[in-house]
Amino acid sequence: MNEAVTTKREFGLPPPRSQWWDVWDQFRTHKGALAGLAIFTAILLAVVIGPWLWPYDPTYADLRSRNAGFSLVHPFGTDQLGRDLLARMMAGGMVSLAVGMTAMLLSVVLGTLIGVVAGYFRRLDGPLMRLTDLFLALPLLPLLLVMVMLFREALSRRFGPETGIFILIVTAIGITSWMHTARIVRGEVLALKEREFVLASRSIGTPPRRMITRHILPNVMSPIMVSATLGIANAIITESALSFLGLGFPPDFPTWGRLLFDAVDQLQLYPSRVILPGVAISLTVLSVNYIGDGLRDALDPRIRGR
């Protein structure tokens, strides 16, 4: 190992780099993606670390300081029950981001599984792709609403109101958003299957399971990563939409969509309460979309290095 490095040095070659350094170099040239990454990291840190540092509890109602405006004590003011809005925004962001990431994970795992299986095993291709088409033809938002409405009682009885709704919303979003990932992954797998290295690997008797984990999956990582970032944005918007329609988390459990929904009634008097969670949602989604845009360029070897 050491010898190889020194030989390369002697010939004046740059030290070896992994593929991810190239990806990072390309990613850095995309200004929007870099800004998106910075903003998303800042939001993530504020939401995760913020509640540890901020002295107010999001559910503590201080009735003497109701409807306070912006001040040093309450930077975002307080709501009609005197609860500190900064604390509520941080708590709400935690839930929204947790829902977004878990639902994204579920949908990416599901989509990758279906895409790889459909692309690799010819016999399953037809049925699985018809299933994907079927899911694409379903009216998704109405069905999501119906699912949440119908199953919320049963699940909150079994797992408690918060965990139950969390499981319900994450599952509902996850199983209604895997189709695009599955289609993209299937296309990539179909192309990969014809390549020589797959043929070579098959000719030495590699079983399908090892073939998929060793040769197929690492090569379809880039489209999966792009659709994962876009999946976070989609899941956050869907969760907020459900909360906004009053079918999301229970009232005393803040999420960004719920905070927005609660504030719409006092729109005329306190517009800032609507704008703050709205800006938080939009900024998160915007930054995630920009990251996805940059990632798509950075992971495309045809663009990289230009």
Partner 1 sequence: MFNYTVRRLVVAVPTLLFISLIIFLLLDLAPGDPMAQMPLTVPPEVKQKMREALGLGEPIHVRYLLWLKQFFLVEPLHIFDSLLGTDLAGDAQRIISWQTRSPVADIIAQRLPQTLWVVGLAYLVGVLIALPIGIISAYRQYSVFDQAGTFVSMIGYSVPPFFSGVLVIVIFSVKLQWFPSVYDTTHNVVDWDSFVHQLRQMIMPVMVLALQTTAQISRFMRASMLDNLNQDYVRTARAKGMTEPTVVLVHVLRNSMIPVVTVIALGVPTIFGGAIITEQVFKVNGIGQLLITAIYANDIPMVQTLAFIFAVLIVLFNLIADVLYGVLDPRIRYE
List contacts with partner 1 (CB under 8 A).
32, 133-134, 136-139, 141-143, 145-147, 149-151, 153-154, 233, 237, 240-241, 244-245, 247, 257, 260-261, 264, 267-268, 271, 274-275, 278-279, 281-282, 285-286, 289-290, 293
**H or E stretch covering 150:** helix 140-159
Shortest distance, CB of residue 261 to partner 1, whole angstroms? 8
Shortest distance, CB of residue 236 to partner 1, whole angstroms? 9
Nearer to partner 1, 34 or 286 (CB): 286
Q: Quick one: CA torsion of 256, 262, 267, 269, rounded to 10 degrees?
A: -110
C-alpha span between 180 and 228 (Å, rounded): 11
Residue (of 175, 155, 292, 154) closest to 235 by Cα position: 175
Shortest distance, CB of residue 231 to partner 1, whole angstroms? 14
C-alpha span between 194 and 202 (Å, rounded): 11
Which residue pairs, CB below 8 angstroms and at least 24 apart, start in 153-158? 156/250
Nearer to partner 1, 199 or 279 (CB): 279
Nearer to partner 1, 42 or 200 (CB): 42
Shortest distance, CB of residue 150 to partner 1, whole angstroms? 3
C-alpha span between 175 and 103 (Å, rounded): 9
Residue (of 216, 223, 215, 229) closest to 299 by Cα position: 223
Nearer to partner 1, 110 or 145 (CB): 145
Nearer to partner 1, 27 or 244 (CB): 244
Shortest distance, CB of residue 26 to partner 1, whole angstroms? 17
Shortest distance, CB of residue 93 to partner 1, whole angstroms? 15
Nearer to partner 1, 116 or 295 (CB): 295
Nearer to partner 1, 170 or 242 (CB): 242
C-alpha span between 40 and 49 (Å, rounded): 14
**H or E stretch covering 229:** helix 221-244
Residues 6+ apart with CB under 8 A from 188: 115, 119, 219, 220, 223
Nearer to partner 1, 216 or 263 (CB): 263
Q: Which pair of tokens denotes residue 155?
A: 């699940």
Shortest distance, CB of residue 282 to partner 1, whole angstroms? 5
Classified as helix, coil or strand, 84 is strand
Contact 136, 186 (CB under 8 A): no
Q: Which residue has the tokens 């990072």?
A: 24
Classified as helix, coil or strand, 95 is helix
Shortest distance, CB of residue 20 to partner 1, whole angstroms? 26
